[in-house]
Copies of this chain bind each other. A is one copy, B any other.
Amino acid sequence: MAVYTQLGPQQVDTLLAHYDVGKLVALKGIAEGVENSNFFVQTTQSRFILTLYENRVNPDDLPFFYALLKHLHDAGCKVPQFITDRDGQWLQTIAGRPACLIEFLDGVSVTEPTEAQAHSTGAALGHMHQALADFTLSRPNSLGVSAWRPLASRCTVEGLESIATGLSARVFAECDYLEAYWPTDLPVAAIHADLFPDNVLMLGDNVSGLIDFYFACSEVRAYDLAVTHSAWCFSNDGTAFDAEVSAGLLSGYADYLPLDTATREALPILLRGACLRFLLTRCYDWINTPANALVTRKDPLAFLRRLDFYSDGRHVENMLGHYT
């Protein structure tokens, strides 16, 4: 949740005057995303999200995100569009910050997904990956396998041990393992990289939108499936694996892209990598966020528990049994 910048309606009126979208009738700061300031904008014609990019998004990356969403939209994927003004500009400046007016998509983020909703999400992910096969722009993954050891070092042994005894040794051993076995023979493409339930809008059992592409990057494509799997198929605290949600997600994905032998063989590694990535960023935030701050710190151990689950080869075998 975030609204870092305060906006007055006069500033938004001035912005909207560049567009053919009608007059402003409502403006509310919304608690969405953790990287940007977001506003709900209702005009006499339609609804929008106005996003102001704060320090954590590099404005140089915005053309990549714009092109990615346009490509996906043109391919029939349900993603929000950056709106262009009368001069064809989609990148604006407001309150001194880069800002974009973005299509508002109906839909709600589920907190306890069903198998049917996981199936739709897997299908939307597969459809997106299929559509991105001919997308040519690239963006490095600053949170990929080569970033995990330096991130663990920045957490410090002391910091990691303050979260759980033995966590430091576990994390560095996992870095050793993943660096040694990370797949190099799988397709690399643009991926979402953060497709938690928060970032999927649904109407009933159907996906109405994939949102928040600000971690999107070039990466082993099946890693995106691994991130999504780790994000969708467990109770929040990571203690309970949901085999039905897992089956739904995988079968939805396989409707678009088959889980071929190379992918199936790499998935145990990719799933562990996904867990380590979120474990480490959550550790870093945990160590560097005061306990009395108003932002909610997310429990790092929720992803250590997932890592434990995936590290047992039989679990992944069971999940994938259907596809062999």
A residues in contact (CB < 8 Å) with B: 1, 3, 8-10, 12, 24-32, 40, 42, 104, 106-112, 203, 290, 292-295
Contact = CB atoms under 8 A, between A and B. Distances in A.
A30 B106 CA distance: 16
Contact of A110 (B3, B8, B28): B8
B27 A28 contact: no
B110 A10 contact: yes
Given A294-B294, A295-B294, A108 B25 contact: yes
A1 B26 contact: no
Given A3-B1, A31-B31, A40-B28, A10 B293 contact: no
Nearest to A292: B290
Given A3-B31, A29-B30, A40-B40, 17 more contacts: A9-B108, A9-B109, A10-B111, A10-B112, A25-B107, A26-B104, A26-B107, A26-B108, A28-B28, A28-B32, A28-B40, A30-B30, A30-B31, A30-B40, A290-B292, A293-B294, A294-B295
23 contacts: A1-B3, A3-B31, A8-B110, A8-B111, A9-B108, A9-B109, A10-B110, A10-B111, A10-B112, A25-B203, A26-B106, A26-B107, A26-B108, A28-B40, A29-B31, A30-B30, A30-B31, A31-B31, A42-B106, A292-B293, A293-B293, A293-B294, A294-B295
A30 B12 CA distance: 17
B40 A9 contact: no
A260 B28 CA distance: 39
